[in-house]
């Protein structure tokens, strides 16, 4: 009977979530994709086609024939799954080729693939906070400094590492003067500092100025015995921003000490990775639990990602990046001409259309859905009150026709809910 009490406790929590209307489990099911000439693939939901404006597939690579062929080829050669974790017998040549290609793409010494970038963040933070030995846990010599709006995988990475309160600090979002304050305040108290930030922040499409951040971190490097190590999670920046598709690295000219990213967004495949100095990657391979005790990505997934990274370094990839840039400019102008405003001026495919009121934002998102467009409502507490937005995500796969239709439908919906006159 005690289990009945347990189930009741779970049900009460689910009821609380449902009553607060914050449930996430009623997911929209995409049954397939419809491909029409001159249009981005449309998602089919309950038999009806929808234009997708909330995907992270910024270059349209997940539907690219060459990427899909890369997936097929690798799974034909190596099988559908990895068969074991990496250090047993799960290291296939396609994993090694992919890691070499990622390192080359970023001009980094080495790279390492994880099952996801969530798993990569958990590993990186845990390993470089605690080290391998029990003694280093006791020493508590690491200070972790995090941007106030970092992604949940970073927050959880820090939480799970279980550091005492004194070893954790937050700097104001994108405020590197505040980061300086934190580094100054803790001088002499710690041996090592990890400064962690998202690259592109996914709610508004803003990005971290890594050059500014580096300047501050470098100026405090001598103040700590093992220096100030920068870690950047640019999940949304890779294959989405910059002339070479390297996200914040291209836009700011800085490759952090450790770069974490996903292959499940712009790269059009799945899995996560880390780049850094060989010694850091070697250390991670010896100590990262989510790498040692968990399977790597499937061979097909690695084969698809390998094609994407190669393509980004060729003309075809560069053309897709240029198309994405053009699409963003075109959409922003059209939306502005139609009377919409943006919460911030983003150069990224994430375009936050400012609505400013949660009820109107909800009505507008629903009206768009009824009219065949899937976009995301973002409201408080994810963004500050009054900054409610419809997050439109632009892809290189969208055509001018798609973008025209999106703004036309946004305008009709805006009038319907009384946002536009």
Pull the structure tokens for residue 282: 């070697």
Q: How far apart are CA 249 and CA 362, in angstroms?
A: 35
Cβ proximity to ligand PLP: between 101 and 402 the closer is: 101
- The reply on whether position 43 binds ligand PLP by CB under 6 A is no
Q: Do the Cβ atoms of 278 and 111 come closer than 8 Å?
A: no
Least distance from ligand PLP to the Cβ atom of residue 349, Å: 13
Binding ligand PLP by CB under 6 A: which of 75, 167, 197, 202?
202
Binders of ligand PLP in range 119-148 (CB under 6 A) = none
Could you tell me which stretch among 112-120, 128-136, 250-258, 304-312 binds ligand PLP (CB under 6 A)?
Answer: 112-120
Nearest to ligand PLP of 123, 229 (CB atom): 123
Whether residue 151 contacts residue 173, with contact meaning beta carbons closer than 8 Å, is answered with no
Determine the interface stretch with ligand PLP among 116-124, 136-144, 342-350, 364-372 (rule: CB under 6 A): 116-124
Binding of ligand PLP at residue 198 (CB under 6 A)? Answer: yes
CB of 379 to ligand PLP, least distance (A): 18
Is the Cβ of residue 179 or residue 350 nearer to ligand PLP in the bound state?
A: 350
Kindly report the length of the chain. Answer: 421
233 scored as a contact of ligand PLP (CB under 6 A): yes
Compare residues 173 and 360 and give the one whose CB is closer to ligand PLP: 173
CA distances to 36, 47, 278 from 405, in Å: 15, 20, 48
Query: What gap in Å lies between CA 66 and CA 59, rounded to an integer?
Result: 13
CB 342 within 8 A of CB 230: no
Distance (Å, rounded) from C-alpha 327 to C-alpha 322? 9
Question: What is the spatial distance between Cα 84 and Cα 71, in angstroms, rounded to a whole number?
Answer: 19
Helix (H, G, I), strand (E, B) or coil at 275: strand
Contact between 153 and ligand PLP by CB under 6 A: the answer reads: yes
Q: How many residues bind ligand PLP (CB under 6 A)?
A: 13
Kindly tell me which residue out of 55, 75, 116, 296 binds ligand PLP, with binding defined by CB under 6 A.
Answer: 116
Q: Which of 118, 128, 176, 340 binds ligand PLP (CB under 6 A)?
A: 118
387 binds ligand PLP (CB under 6 A): no
To the nearest whole angstrom, how small is the minimum distance from the Cβ of residue 157 to ligand PLP?
A: 10
* Residue 213 or 419 having the CB closest to ligand PLP: 213
Residue closer to ligand PLP (CB basis): 71 or 198: 198
Does residue 323 contact residue 287 with C-beta atoms inside 8 Å? no
The neighbour count for residue 25, using CB atoms within 10 Å, is 7
No. of helices (H) and no. of strands (E), the chain: 15, 15
Determine if 235 is a binding residue for ligand PLP (CB under 6 A).
Answer: yes
Q: Is the dihedral of CA 240, 245, 246, 247 positive or negative?
A: negative
What the block records as the tokens of 294 is 């968990």
Find the part of the chain contacting ligand PLP (CB under 6 A) among 230-238, 245-253, 287-295, 339-347.
230-238
Contact between 98 and ligand PLP by CB under 6 A: the answer reads no
Per the listing, tokens 């024939």 go with: 65
Of 43 and 237, nearer to ligand PLP (C-beta) is 237
**Using CB under 6 A as the criterion, what x/- string covers residues 240-279 for binding ligand PLP?**
----------------------x-x-------x-------
CB of 152 to ligand PLP, least distance (A): 8
Task: Say which DSSP state 186 is in.
Answer: T
As a whole number of angstroms, the distance between CA 325 and CA 132 comes to: 44
CA distance 291 to 261: 15
Helices (H), 60-161: 65-78, 93-106, 117-130, 134-139, 152-161
- Choose the binding region for ligand PLP from 23-31, 185-193, 231-239, 335-343 (rule: CB under 6 A): 231-239
Pair 390, 375: CB distance under 8 Å: yes
Q: How far is the CB of 264 from ligand PLP (least distance, A)?
A: 4
- From residue 281, how far is each of 33, 146, 309 by CA, in Å? 39, 22, 20
Comparison of 61 and 403: residue with beta carbon closer to ligand PLP: 61
The reply to whether 186 sits near ligand PLP by the rule CB under 6 A is: no
Q: Give CA–CA dist 296/271, Å, rounded.
A: 8
Stretch binding ligand PLP (CB under 6 A), from 41-49, 162-170, 232-240, 318-326:
232-240
Q: Which residues make up the interface to ligand PLP (CB under 6 A)? A: 116-118, 151, 153, 198, 202, 233, 235-236, 262, 264, 272
């Amino acid at each position: 009977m005690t289990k009945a009490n347990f189930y009741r406790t779970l049900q009460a929590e689910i009821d609380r979530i449902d009553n607060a209307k914050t449930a996430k489990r009623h997911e929209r099911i995409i049954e397939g994709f419809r491909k029409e000439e001159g249009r981005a693939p449309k998602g089919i939901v309950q038999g009806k086609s929808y234009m997708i404006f909330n995907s992270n597939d910024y270059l349209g690579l997940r539907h690219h024939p060459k990427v899909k062929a890369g997936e097929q080829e690798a799974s034909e050669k190596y099988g559908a799954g990895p068969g074991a974790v990496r250090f047993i017998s799960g290291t296939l040549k396609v994993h090694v080729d992919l890691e070499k290609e990622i390192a080359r793409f970023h001009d980094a010494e080495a790279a390492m693939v994880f099952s996801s970038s969530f798993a990569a963040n958990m590993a990186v933070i845990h390993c470089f906070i605690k080290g391998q030995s029990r003694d280093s846990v006791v020493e508590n010599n690491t200070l972790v400094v995090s941007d106030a709006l970092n992604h949940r995988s970073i927050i959880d990475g820090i939480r799970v590492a279980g550091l005492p309160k004194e070893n954790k600090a937050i700097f104001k979002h994108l405020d590197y003067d505040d980061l300086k304050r934190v580094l100054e305040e803790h001088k002499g108290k710690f041996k090592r500092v990890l400064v962690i930030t998202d690259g592109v922040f996914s709610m508004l499409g803003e990005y971290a100025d890594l050059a500014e951040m580096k300047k501050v971190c470098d100026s405090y490097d001598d103040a700590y015995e093992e220096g100030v190590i920068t870690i950047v999670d640019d999940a949304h920046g890779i294959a989405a921003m910059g002339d070479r598709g390297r996200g914040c690295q291209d836009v700011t000219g800085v490759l952090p000490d450790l770069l974490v990213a996903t292959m499940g967004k712009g790269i059009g495949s799945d899995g996560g990775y880390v780049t850094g100095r060989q010694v850091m990657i070697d250390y991670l391979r010896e100590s990262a639990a989510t790498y040692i005790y968990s399977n790597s990505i499937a061979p097909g997934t690695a084969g698809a990602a390998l094609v994407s990274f190669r393509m980004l370094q060729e003309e075809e990839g560069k053309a897709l990046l240029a198309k994405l840039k053009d699409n963003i400019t075109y959409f922003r102008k059209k939306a502005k001409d139609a009377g919409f405003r943006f919460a911030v001026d983003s150069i990224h495919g994430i375009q936050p259309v400012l609505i400013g009121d949660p009820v109107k934002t909800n009505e507008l998102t629903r009206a768009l859905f009824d009219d065949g467009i899937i976009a995301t409502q973002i409201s408080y507490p994810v963004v500050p009150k009054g900054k409610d937005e419809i997050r439109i995500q632009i892809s290189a796969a969208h055509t001018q026709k798609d973008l025209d239709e999106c703004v036309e439908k946004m305008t009709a919906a805006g009038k319907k809910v009384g946002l536009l006159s």
